[in-house]
Structure 1
Amino acid sequence: MSYQTFLALLVFAFSSSVTPGPNNMMLLTSGVNFGFRRTIPHILGIEVGFALLILAVGLGLGALFSAEPRLYLVLKVLGGGYLLWIAWHIATTRSLAEAKGDAEARPMTLMQAALFQAVNPKAWVMAGGAVAAYQAPDAYIRDSFLIVFAFMAVGIFCTSAWAGFGTGLKGWLADPRRLRVFNITMAVLLVLSLWPMLR
């Protein structure tokens, strides 16, 4: 991969990582409800899970989905169902105190966030697009790792920014009515973020 191609890859990684999607909507909400520090495992889980997803697509799993589109349909249905369940939990969180004290209301763990990437349609589109555009057939192993490096280099800043923005809103959303409206809005946006990928 040439220097110019790698720079183009970094731009692609940044633009696709910083835009709204399921991960970023959940990080924003987690920042509001749990604060930045408690959201760090969620951030790291996204990075780890997405890195593994890129490697899986780059090393051949993407070809399996191309050959058998019904498997991808199953993935989209599972991912959509899981996101609806998460959206429901976001929408029904009533206060910051509940988010801190309720056993059911807690931030995603590193493992949960990593596993979520396997059913996140936007993550699949990003990984597939990056591999298709930037991986050379004669250097697919090296290029897969370069794509992982590019996404991790910019992704950690993008995901941290969304969680940090949510944390910044925490004081303003201490009012239960504002928080309720915010959580319902985030739940709706989370569901809407799936629309382009599930068509």
Structure 2
Amino acid sequence: MIEQSALLGVVSIALGMVLSPGPNMMYLVSRSISQGRRAGIISLGGVAAGFLVYLVGANLGLAVLFAAVPELLTVIRIAGACYLLWLAWKTIKPGGVSVFTVQDVPADSPRRLFTMGLLTNLLNPKIAILYVAIIPQFVDLTKGDVLLQGIILGGFQIMVAVSVNLSIVLAAGALAGFLARRPSWLRTQRITMGSLLGVLAVMLALGTSGNVTTPLT
């Protein structure tokens, strides 16, 4: 039903976005460093729940919308490309603060950790635009159930995001200390991630990343 190119496109964009500094990563890293891995994992559970809310809500609405107005996919593709370019610049611009430069925060209860992780993700504009303006352009109206395609593609995005964030949570303390002693590595990380996002934005704008009409080559 879903082309391999579409899955690879979603996974590539999800990987580039989850590795770029943002509210989710900042919250998870700060909790993991200040309150321990268990707190980071509980917070990640809330973030994952936020992804599920976006997955269900966006796909239920978009499935009907795209079936009625398929031309919107082109508009969405361009909007998504513009956002990725903005995110790329924000990642590599001079004077940025590393996501691993964090401050101590007060300890929170498990319920608050989960709730704050959920709210952080729900209020994260990067995730909102990902589900509204980026993932939908990989849906192919000729490949069957639009709703099912959206859920599968979103499921792959969640798998990538949770896996990477879990790795970051488990390694946050060690990474913070390691990178703090190597500022050049921080610059390299920002430049690499920003460049990746820029390439993905160009591919998205040109329709070469697995969109509804052009397969990935």
Q: Determine if the TM-score, normalized by the shorter chain, exceeds 0.5.
A: yes
For residue 116 of structure 1, report the CA deviation from its aligned partner: 2.4
Q: Distance in 2 between matches of 1:111 and 1:93?
A: 23
Gaps of 5+ in 1: 137-142
Letter in 1 for 2:105: G
Alignment partner of 1:17 is 2:11: yes
Structure 2 CA distance for partners of 1:183 and 1:130, relative to 1, 3 Å = farther
SS in 2 for 1:170: helix
Structure 2 CA distance for partners of 1:48 and 1:172, relative to 1, 3 Å = same
Indicate if the aligned counterparts of 1:96 and 1:174 stay in contact, CA closer than 8 A: yes
Structure 2 CA distance for partners of 1:197 and 1:156, relative to 1, 3 Å = closer
Letter in 2 for 1:188: I
Aligned runs of 1:122-141 on 2, under 5 Å? Answer: 124-132=133-141, 134=143, 136=144
Aligned to 1:198: 201
Indicate if the aligned counterparts of 1:93 and 1:180 stay in contact, CA closer than 8 A: no
Indicate if the aligned counterparts of 1:47 and 1:155 stay in contact, CA closer than 8 A: no
Alignment partner of 1:101 is 2:105: yes
Aligned runs of 1:1-199 on 2, under 5 Å? Answer: 5=1, 13=7, 16-17=10-11, 20-26=15-21, 29-30=25-26, 31-35=28-32, 36=40, 37-61=42-66, 63-65=70-72, 69=75, 73=78, 76-78=81-83, 80-81=85-86, 84-85=89-90, 91-93=96-98, 97-98=102-103, 100-101=104-105, 109-113=120-124, 115-120=125-130, 124-132=133-141, 134=143, 136=144, 143-175=145-177, 177-178=180-181, 183-199=186-202
Structure 2 CA distance for partners of 1:50 and 1:194, relative to 1, 3 Å = farther
Instruction: Give identity over the alignment, percent.
Output: 9
For residue 109 of structure 1, report the CA deviation from its aligned partner: 0.5
Structure 2 CA distance for partners of 1:20 and 1:177, relative to 1, 3 Å = same
Between Structure 1 and Structure 2, how many residues are aligned?
A: 178
How high is the TM-score relative to the length of structure 1?
Answer: 0.59
Higher helix share: 1
Letter in 2 for 1:196: V
Indicate if the aligned counterparts of 2:139 and 2:149 stay in contact, CA closer than 8 A: yes
Indicate if the aligned counterparts of 1:79 and 1:119 stay in contact, CA closer than 8 A: no
Gaps of 5+ in 2: 33-39, 107-115, 203-217
SS in 2 for 1:101: coil
How high is the TM-score relative to the length of structure 2?
Answer: 0.55
Q: What RMSD, in angstroms, separates the aligned Cα atoms of the two structures?
A: 4.4
Structure 2 CA distance for partners of 1:74 and 1:152, relative to 1, 3 Å = closer
Q: Distance in 1 between matches of 2:155 and 2:65?
A: 23
SS in 1 for 2:48: helix
Structure 2 CA distance for partners of 1:109 and 1:29, relative to 1, 3 Å = closer
